[in-house]
Chains A and B, each alone.
Chain A
Amino acid sequence: MNHANYYLLFDRIQIQAANAISGPLSYGFPSLNGFLGAIHALNRRLPESDGITLGGVLVACHHCDVQLYRPHAYADATFNQSRNPLKKNGDTAAIIEEGKVHLTVSLLVEVRKADQVWANLSQNPQASEWCTQVQNMLMQQRIAGGSVTSIGRTQLFESHQQDDMIAALLPAFVLMDAGQDLLAITRELQTGQQHLVNEFDEIQPACDENGAPLPSARPAQTEVTALDALIEVATLHHLPPDAKDSKEWRAYSVKSGRGWLVPLPVGYQGIAAPFAAGELAHCRTAEYPSQYVETIYSLGKWVFPFRLPENFQQCFWRYATPQDNLYLITQPPAH
């Protein structure tokens, strides 16, 4: 939706016990689909007579409290589990592991109002009434599998009020796509030379002040795939002191200088041909076609709101039109 004429801010949504396991390879913040799906569901519930549609979603996280236990700082964490009610025959139910997270997020949603605009937005009673209405609707929904316990407030912005929107999000971190960084890291592992994403979103080798290429912490491996790069993002290299430079051990991470990178599930890919509607037995819907899929990963980046790109449109996640067997949630490209 490129013609959003308003933006709707759900400020400080508190979500209890959302799903912390965002995919088969990552935990922490719920997957994007949890938020986009909730807004999509909200959009479906809006009365048609309003002539209002919701578009892309900006996700900002204020607070993220994963319910886990880590015996000491270097140990692997396990998720806190809950005992579920007894089965019908009185046996204890088996524990199927789940991961929960308590969240405070702000969502900024593109709004398109087709027929007439709200005059004098900040004082417009209809606009504020509509805000209250959608806030109440969202309160009744689940977001990312968790219950909404409170929403700070709901406010409409006009599209030129970018600075006000950014100020309203503070302090928080906004989730951005970092697919280019994943490519740069893959190149770095393949060539053994540091690569960076420049301001035009292109990948180039990194150089020091004299123009000499900077070596990576790992020797070049031609066989490296994006999956290796994903694991590399979580890896910390401990390098012994150089004889001349220093006496201290150094730590090197491929993330340094690139921002706060995280693995990010961005959608699904079909792993078998799609079935026609009603063909797959025990499918929850016989109305629509169905398909077996697997989660697709990329990299994401948590960005402080002041560092967001000039082009504000770029910060909004949308359902892309499926192609090549891929069902993705994307942000518009930079250029």
Chain B
Amino acid sequence: MQDITRADVQAAISGFLNDQFLKKAEPDIKRLEKAETEQNEAAIAAAQEALAQWRHKYSAPIWLDDAARRMAGQLKFGSHISKGIHPDAKGDNVNFSADTPLPEHLIGSQSAHALALDANGNAAALPLAAFFNTPVGAAQMVKLRQLITQNHPALQGCFADDAALSDEYQLLFQAALIGATDAPITHERNKQILWPRGEQAIVHDDYICLVPLYPSALTHAVYQQINQARYSEENKLARDNRFKKTAEHKPYVSITQLAITKLGGTKPQNVSQLTSAQGGRNYLLPNLPPKLQSSKAFKISAVAVTIFNKRLRYHSYRGWIEFDEVIKAKKSVMAVRDQRKLALQMILAEVFQIAERIQTQWPAGWSRDYQLSMAEKYWLDPDRADLEGEEAFKAACDAGDWAGEVIRSFALWLNQWLKETHTAIAEDFDEAEESEWRRAMASALRTSQRRFGRIYA
């Protein structure tokens, strides 16, 4: 930033004003061209007059004066904006300078490669934001606003021929960029969090009120980065070519499972300039936990004699996959044995999630219409014992002898599957293994029965 000269700044300013002029005057320039080819004197004069007006408006002294005295007061700048939290929030924006680095394992505005400057307020004053974002110098790496906030020496006399006037403008611009902090104001629509300062906050009554602002500069960077990854020509081509036999196959990326929030509804410009550039859309990354197989969908066939069948295996697949991997791994290392225990527990957890759902959600007495073994009926339909005319059921249920049979069925179910799928090592699953499954099931059943305050033998 040191090698920026006064000439660079002046070139940047006049370049910006020229661009603005061309943008606004474009229809009139076309009109003039047309009139000249048609040799229409009246039209030429009218167009020339209109052009002269634009030229006057975008001449440096006029525009800069307007920018410093009017626009600067009508816009609120910041990297963090209040309206991103709620469009009605009228609190301060904050222009955060990302100088102090964050610890490496944390992500904040410092982590973005470049932070744009955001602005909101009167839309007619928004060209000033573009003005501040004008790149300066040969490398185009430095923005005008950076020079203004740093009081860069190259700015002297750039904003007006009169040195004192130029300094005055510079101060006005600087004040607008930094934002007034002598009368800080937030708003009822801004979120405010009372944050305990440490674990002894209650004892010491030690709190601070945190007011989170919307990091629109950071989210803008993320938005652009995701769009670039997804929709760059290169990525689109590679994706399309995947299914073409003759084309060259190249790697491509996809980013799925995102969600979109729209800020500001149909008027994103009300929220901020950057939000408007994104059409109000913001990408959100998913932070959902993995989905457990829903126990809601589990049904028992009316003719099944046991729930330990293929259907239950499907509904506890997560544990089975784990189990499968452990068995394929090299045998009987300590870590593998631990993992097998974990996989077994995972299967049990999923089985009991389903069992508990049946026990608590299905209507008492549901098992009357099913062919399940009595042992499993006692286990899965405990509330039937309290119904009228079910004294015999209650007695048998309370006796608890059925638990042994449920445990046996479980161990059999597990062992049978292991023998079927791992035929080469089928003889490895013998008595010792089966008794291990039984022990685990017995302990899980005991825990589950206790949880619901039921008798367990």
- Using a CB–CB cutoff of 8 Å, the interface residues on chain A facing chain B are 1, 21-22, 24-29, 33, 37, 40, 43-44, 53, 55, 61-64, 66, 68, 73-74, 76-79, 94-97, 99, 153, 164, 167-168, 170-173, 175, 179-180, 182-183, 186, 217, 223, 225-228, 230-231, 233-241, 249, 260, 262-264, 266, 268-269, 271-272, 274-275, 279-285, 288-300, 302, 304, 306-307, 318-322, 324-327
Q: How far is the CB of A327 from chain B (nearest CB, A)?
A: 5
Are A227 and B96 CB-contacts (below 8 A) given A173-B290, A293-B210, A302-B289? no
**Other-chain contact of B215, A24, A53, A173, A282 (Cβ < 8 Å):** A24
- With both beta carbons as reference points, the residue of chain A lying nearest to B79 in the complex is identified as A271
Are A291 and B218 CB-contacts (below 8 A) given A230-B107, A272-B94? no
- With both beta carbons as reference points, the residue of chain A lying nearest to B107 in the complex is identified as A297
Q: How far is the CB of B283 from chain A (nearest CB, A)?
A: 7
The CA-CA distance from A186 to B107 in the complex, in Å, is 11
Q: Are A296 and B102 interface neighbours, CB within 8 A?
A: yes
Chain A residues, Cβ within 8 Å of B207: 285, 288
B389: interface (CB < 8 Å): no
B129: interface (CB < 8 Å): no
Type the 1/0 row for B108-134, where 1 means its CB is closer than 8 Å to any CB of A. Answer: 110111000000000000000000000
Chain B residues, Cβ within 8 Å of A271: 79-80, 94, 96, 109, 213
Which of chain B's residues 433-450 have a Cβ closer than 8 Å to chain A? 444, 447
- 6 additional contacts (CB under 8 A) given A76-B258, A94-B87, A285-B192: A63-B292, A167-B444, A170-B345, A235-B253, A263-B287, A294-B80
Total A-B residue pairs with C-beta atoms closer than 8 Å? 301
The CA-CA distance from A79 to B283 in the complex, in Å, is 12
Are A99 and B259 CB-contacts (below 8 A) given A22-B287, A179-B106, A268-B212? yes
Q: Are B185 and A281 interface neighbours, CB within 8 A?
A: yes
B56: interface (CB < 8 Å): no
Q: List 25 A-B contacts (CB under 8 A).
A: A26-B287, A27-B287, A29-B289, A55-B199, A225-B111, A226-B106, A235-B254, A236-B254, A238-B252, A241-B249, A264-B287, A268-B195, A269-B108, A283-B192, A288-B194, A290-B186, A290-B192, A294-B218, A295-B108, A295-B215, A296-B108, A300-B287, A304-B342, A324-B100, A327-B195
**9 nearest CB pairs, A to B:** A179-B105, A240-B249, A227-B111, A28-B288, A262-B287, A321-B198, A170-B349, A171-B349, A290-B209
Which of chain B's residues 145-192 have a Cβ closer than 8 Å to chain A? 181, 183-188, 192
The CA-CA distance from A37 to B209 in the complex, in Å, is 13
Q: Are A260 and B349 interface neighbours, CB within 8 A?
A: no
Q: Are A319 and B286 interface neighbours, CB within 8 A?
A: no
How many chain B residues have a CB neighbour from A under 8 Å? 93
Are A27 and B211 CB-contacts (below 8 A) given A240-B250, A282-B187, A292-B80? no
Chain A residues, Cβ within 8 Å of B261: 21, 27, 79, 97, 99
Q: Are B212 and A260 interface neighbours, CB within 8 A?
A: no
Q: How far is the CB of B336 from chain A (nearest CB, A)?
A: 15
Chain A residues, Cβ within 8 Å of B311: none
- Using a CB–CB cutoff of 8 Å, the interface residues on chain B facing chain A are 79-80, 84, 86-87, 91-92, 94, 96, 100, 102, 104-109, 111-113, 181, 183-188, 192-199, 201-202, 207-215, 218-219, 221-222, 225-226, 229, 239, 242, 249-263, 265, 282-292, 342, 345-346, 348-350, 352-353, 444, 447, 451
